[in-house]
Amino acid sequence: MGFNRPVPDAPERPVRRDTLWRTFALYRPYRRRLSGVIASVLINAGLGVVPPLLVATLIDDVIPSGDTRKLLTIVGIMLGVTAASGGFNLLQAHLNTRVGLSVMRDLRGRLYGHLQRQPISFFAGTRTGEIQSRLTNDVTNTQLVLTDTISTIVSNASIVTASVIAMLIISWQLSLVALGVTPIFVFFTVRVGRRRRRLTREAQRAVAELTASAGETLSVSGVMLAKTFGREREQLDRFDATNEELTRVSIRQQMTGRGFFVLVQTFFGMAPAIIWAIGGWMFFNGRGDISVGDIVAFTAIQTRLLFPLAGLLNRGVDVSSALALFERIFEYLDLEPDITDPLDPVPIDRGSIRGEVAFRHVNFQYDAARGVEDSFGLEDITFTAAAGRLTALVGPSGSGKTTMGYLMSRLYDVGDGSVSIDGIDLRDMALRDLSGLVSVVSQDPFLFHASIGDNLRYGDPTATDEDLARAAKAAQIYDTIAGLSKGFDTIVGERGYRLSGGERQRVAIARAVLANPRVLLLDEATSSLDTRSERLVQRALGELMEGRTTVAIAHRLSTIIAADQILVILNGRIVDRGTFDELVTRSGLFRQLYEEQFTAIPGDLPPLEAGGVSAPGSEPVRGPVPEPAD
């Protein structure tokens, strides 16, 4: 019911000034390695200007003097500097790759962990494909920035700085000519980066849409739906439209600024010729005290300058584009979980918990947190599910039964009032402690694409093979598993589709047996099964309910005939309560629900003792069940 109301995705926001600093902060755990990268970069930058300066000495002094020994010494120094530079390059690449990929691993893990802490309302309102896109595509597309950007920026900036200093030492006049247009290039680089950033966000949205569409339509359920309704062509057309939109945006993204960078590269290609022309004129006219060796060294350093300068401009655009990716990631990381552990949780001694569940004046609205008026929910719900007994919730579809189950599992928090186990408010418990006390068996249990044994061990990771067999026997599924060629190692397929509905249900019950909860929530656990499967599941549920507090959300009233108390829910309120006999007699709504499920003429009801689920080891409560006192 209300849990399917749309929940806004992480809000889009303009790129904030602190985004770049937050990105750099990701490197904090790797400061020492990053320092090694920066040190090797700076050393390399210094070594890089040595050979061009020695070239000037060779041309102007050594070669004209004919000093062979000096010539060999300088050549040896140049060879040694080049070899050392190669070694530092290798060290830099190794450290840089390790740091970058480690940061990306941390970011992906941090995002996954943060998403796990989000409330059910977030996942109910956000498509799985969108979440997967941010976790995989967005993080993966930051790899270039994370693994290469810092070292590239530091390296290029160091080379540019060292080269500019060396050029100024040789000739400040030629330096003005070589660097005069740089501010213009920087200005256009900023503009290109802003446009690329916007297009990157659009492209990632298209990728998320494509991922979500493929995930929905290529799942087992999606494919079955398309085939049974003959909608494969419509699905393909929709996918093609999204794919075309992604291609269009990606082309715009890739081509943005290409003309500008072609202009930059063309200018940089022409620059040495311009320097030779101006430098030659200065040499011929005795201006600037410049020699042929100075011109050769200047053009060599200039050539070494131009590529890093172009790299800085390009990387500036890449970083600007990547900020859109980081913004999308930070949008999720900045979501505050609604359901959190208390600062000082109450210690839970599992062995002493009896399992009495109490709702006290509970009010709840799904959209209240977002200020939406008239949103559906619960109103003044008060009842006690006695320890070790069966309490059933019945009512029309959408009346609020499942919502009460969500609150009992603390998938949502109450708006007013409280839900407690043995008098301890659920909000005062650690979430891990609560999950160890309450288990849920729903009408559509989820199974992983893994073996039956692995799915069972989700209830207890420490379970032995003997424990699995014992749980399977209790759930009436052992003989079925034993009859499979691989037994407990049989892969169940996506969402367990290789098993029948009744088999999936009994595997889920066996998983709950291994979890050994004190409180059991049955959410219409037999409503979609055939008669034979229902009987097997009911028998398994009887084993599971033994000695546990059970709250059953019932669709088939025949399954809760012997419940200790039945609560009749309508429009989010408890409108009646009592035993099966009492409610059939006095409750018009319960009587209507009962008669709708049987073909007998009203007044000619099936016998009340026919095979329902009862609380094992106890007699049904006879007589009215009073509302608990505060």
Domain covering 386-405+429-596: architecture: 3-Layer(aba) Sandwich (3.40)
Rounded to the nearest angstrom, the gap between the alpha carbon of residue 594 and the centroid of all alpha carbons in its chain is: 44
Residue ranges of the chain with per-residue pLDDT less than 50: 1-15, 369-374, 599-626, 628-630
**Cα distance between residue 511 and residue 456, in whole Å:** 5
Helical pair 182-217 and 232-255, crossing angle rounded to 10 deg: 170
**Cα distance between residue 218 and residue 241, in whole Å:** 17
Domain boundaries along the sequence of the chain: 23-197+257-333, 386-405+429-596
Alpha carbon dihedral 222, 224, 227, 230, in 10-degree steps, equals: -60
**Cα distance between residue 377 and residue 397, in whole Å:** 13
Give the pLDDT confidence score for residue 193 in this predicted structure.
65
DSSP letters along 198-243, please? HHHHHHHHHHHHHHHHHHHHTSHHHHHHHHHHT-HHHHHHHHHHHH
Rounded to the nearest angstrom, the gap between the alpha carbon of residue 59 and the centroid of all alpha carbons in its chain is: 62
Strand order in the sheet with 519-523: 438-442, 519-523, 549-553, 390-394, 565-570, 573-578
Q: Which of 516, 504, 549 is nearest to 392 (CA)?
A: 549
Query: Is there a contact between 148 and 31 (Cβ–Cβ < 8 Å)?
Result: no
Query: Is there a contact between 448 and 454 (Cβ–Cβ < 8 Å)?
Result: yes
Give the pLDDT confidence score for residue 605 in this predicted structure.
47
Cβ neighbourhood burial of 328 (10 Å; 0-12, 13-18, 19+): buried
pTM of the model: 0.67
Give the pLDDT confidence score for residue 548 in this predicted structure.
85
Q: Which of 178, 100, 175 is nearest to 140 (CA)?
A: 100
CA within 13 Å, CB half, 334: 13
Give the pLDDT confidence score for residue 2 in this predicted structure.
34
Query: Is there a contact between 55 and 298 (Cβ–Cβ < 8 Å)?
Result: no
Domain 23-197+257-333: CATH superfamily is ABC transporter type 1, transmembrane domain (1.20.1560.10)
